[in-house]
């Protein structure tokens, strides 16, 4: 991705977040403004990670860790789709309502989710590529292993944010308050949730890779 495209994405996010703020100031959908902004942070960080970049080893791994802490905020938007139920989409006749405001909010939520997730997956690919190059892992499966590992960690992060209600910023401010909840969160439903969200993200990722793969005639 060249510099011009990166600036275009930054501009689109800025305009989009401003639009969301203008139309979604009141509950219950005002959460989308903050969540979309949080989803953009790892995307911006991924713009600064590449094979051989940053050149300084310590800076590289610090940036990777910060990216990893924020990256779950991007696929987290997928779970926000459950908030569509707040629109009460079905009428008394059991059919979907034809309400312009309802469909407008539906469009806002879906656009934020799809756009952020797709660009975030591009970032995931770049980060995985940079990591495998940095550790000199040349086996063709190495990048796939890193992708799966990062996706599992992202799913754990989604669980923490969705069910423990621990936001990334809190881990920086008061990490000592969240050690016990993080250690006690493991249960059968939690593991199943993490597996399912990992599967969903990997389906998105490999579908994109399949589409992008050059076709041979």
- Give me the DSSP letters along 193-209: HHHHHHHHHHHHHHHHH
Which secondary structure element, helix H or strand E, spans residue 18, and what is its range?
helix 3-23
Residues in the chain: 217
What would you report as the CA-atom Rg of the chain, rounded to the nearest whole angstrom?
19
CA distance 61 to 63: 5
Instruction: Report the SS3 class of residue 106.
Output: helix
The domain limits of the chain are 3-212
Each as own residue / partner, the long-range contacts of residues 211-217 (CB below 8 Å, 24 or more positions apart, any chain) are none
Structure tokens at 194: 């993490």
112-159 per-position pLDDT tens digit: 999 999 999 999 999 999 999 998 888 889 999 999 999 999 999 999
97 or 172, greater pLDDT: 97
- The whole-chain average pLDDT of the chain stands at 89
Check pLDDT > 90 for residue 13. Answer: yes
CA distance 173 to 196: 30
Amino acid 215: pLDDT? 60
């Amino acid at each position: 991705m060249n510099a011009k495209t990166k600036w275009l994405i930054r501009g689109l996010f800025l305009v989009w977040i401003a639009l969301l703020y203008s139309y979604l100031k009141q509950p219950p959908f005002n959460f989308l403004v903050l969540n979309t902004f949080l989803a953009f942070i790892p995307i911006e960080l991924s713009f600064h990670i590449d094979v051989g970049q940053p050149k300084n080893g310590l800076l590289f791994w610090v940036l990777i860790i910060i990216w990893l802490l924020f990256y779950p905020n991007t696929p987290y938007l997928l779970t926000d789709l459950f908030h569509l139920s707040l629109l009460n989409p079905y009428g008394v006749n059991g059919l979907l309502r034809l309400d312009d405001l309802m469909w407008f909010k539906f469009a806002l939520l879906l656009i934020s989710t799809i756009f952020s997730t797709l660009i975030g997956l591009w970032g995931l690919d770049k980060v995985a590529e940079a990591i495998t190059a940095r550790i000199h892992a040349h086996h063709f499966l190495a990048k796939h292993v890193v992708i799966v590992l990062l996706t599992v960690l992202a799913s754990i992060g989604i669980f923490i944010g969705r069910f423990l209600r621990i936001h990334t910023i809190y881990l920086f401010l008061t990490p000592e308050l969240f050690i016990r909840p993080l250690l006690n969160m493991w249960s059968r439903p939690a593991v199943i949730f993490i597996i399912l969200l990992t599967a969903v993200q990997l389906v998105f990722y490999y579908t994109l890779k399949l589409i992008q793969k050059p076709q041979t005639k």
